[in-house]
Amino acid sequence: MSQRLTELRERTKEKQTLAMEVLKLAGDARDFSRKDVLEKLGATDSADAVVKWNAVNAEASGLIQQTRELAQKEEFDACEQRDEELKRGGRRDPVHPTGETKELSIGEMVVKSKEYEEYRKTKVPTNIDLPDARMSDLVGLKTLMSTTAGYAPDSPRTADVVPFARRPIQILSLIPVRPIGVPIAKWMEKTTETINAAEIAEAATYPESVYVYTERTSPIQKVADSLPVTDEQLEDVDGMQGLIQDDIGGGVRLKIDSQVVVGTGTPPQIRGITNYAGIQTQARGADPHFDAIFKAITKCRAVGRAEPDAVAIHSTDWQTFRLMRTADGIYIMGNPSEVGSVNLFGLPIAINEVLTVGTALVGAYREFSYLAEKRGVLVEVGFTGTQFTEGKKTVRASARIAMVVRRAAAFCTVTGL
């Protein structure tokens, strides 16, 4: 290891240690205005401290890159030096490790052999100086054997298959699943509750309360997909049937993941949470983003009488939350060098691309919604039309489900983010 490489590693360690010490001094509140932080960085105020801390981070990053490049260069140079030594004379003689004498290479042994001398006399024209001659000038040499004109090397393909950049399942994990044995989901919801309980005198008439229950329904709908495929494709490629089944079944689940939120309810679409009558909404307006989310949480609690358990936010909107900073430049959701907290007011965030940009959905998903499932995603292989005589098959997948929102007021959209 060179002196330069050692120095770079020491400087890198120094900068990394400084950055970590500043973070510890700033505390969990990331208060860069503290006296010990300012002294450590030689800053005048918190804004200057943030700038200088970022400069330390940037310098450490640059030093790491320089160290990596120099280490790679030194390793490469060492390999080049070893190759040059081999080209100049083969291995060193173990009896003379200083290189005063050395073993002959295979090429040198051939050139100095008696057989080679005889070959030169009989096969090489006397007017050709062998060391300077081209190979094509030598008498008796055959066509060069190479990978293009001789034996081509085998180049097998690996079993690695890179999947398409598909959106993952992002909402279904919030919603419980319940099996159902009938073609329509039905439940009763108390839609009126007038409590007239009161203190009464002896022998007085009892007050009467009013309770009204209303039947709610959500029909089972089918989500399906299919793919025609030849016999040869299924038979000649190992694992192809499983790969297709995973793709087709995954596509059905992906569609359900979006329908449970934004489905219109017009058959054959299921009715998603945002299209249930009675769902609440909270416009951000001039409020800070954080305030709008908390006001939606409060509506779920005070009006829906439910305890929210998650907040679904579009990935672009979550970027806005994650990059928010204080007036003096401190990141509210965590320093850029950290992963940061993926929750708001203690509620986990379901980052997704199902909701439209600018809209979030706060709700009590596990208590007041569920996916009624006639059956799970079923993947089948069969024939359709003339496929049997054409050597084809169809792989199909389907699911029969309904989205049930037991209490719409337990959910609240936040708009204008």
- 212 shares a domain with 65: no
- 206 shares a domain with 80: no
- 45 shares a domain with 190: no
Whether residue 107 is contained in a domain is answered as no
Q: How many domains does the chain have?
A: 2
Whether residue 366 is contained in a domain is answered as yes
- 176 shares a domain with 54: no
Which residue range is the domain that position 49 belongs to? Answer: 3-89
Query: What angle do the packed helices 3-26 and 46-89 form, to 10 degrees?
Result: 160
- 253 shares a domain with 372: yes
The identity of residue 25, as a single letter, is L
pLDDT at residue 266, as a whole number: 94
Domain boundary among 39, 69, 89: 89
Whether residue 98 is contained in a domain is answered as no
How many other CB atoms sit within 10 Å of the CB of residue 80? 10
Domain boundary among 39, 71, 89: 89
- 179 shares a domain with 85: no
How many other CB atoms sit within 10 Å of the CB of residue 196? 9
Whether residue 81 is contained in a domain is answered as yes
What pTM was computed for the model? 0.64
pLDDT at residue 28, as a whole number: 66
- 401 shares a domain with 301: yes
Whether residue 304 is contained in a domain is answered as yes
Whether residue 146 is contained in a domain is answered as no
pLDDT at residue 297, as a whole number: 95
Whether residue 156 is contained in a domain is answered as no
* CATH code of the domain containing 385: 3.30.2400.10
pLDDT at residue 334, as a whole number: 87
Give per-10-residue mean pLDDT for the chain (417 aa): 81 79 77 86 85 80 78 76 65 46 62 69 55 49 71 80 90 95 93 95 96 95 95 89 92 96 95 96 94 95 94 96 90 86 91 96 95 93 92 95 96 97
Domain boundary among 57, 89, 121: 89
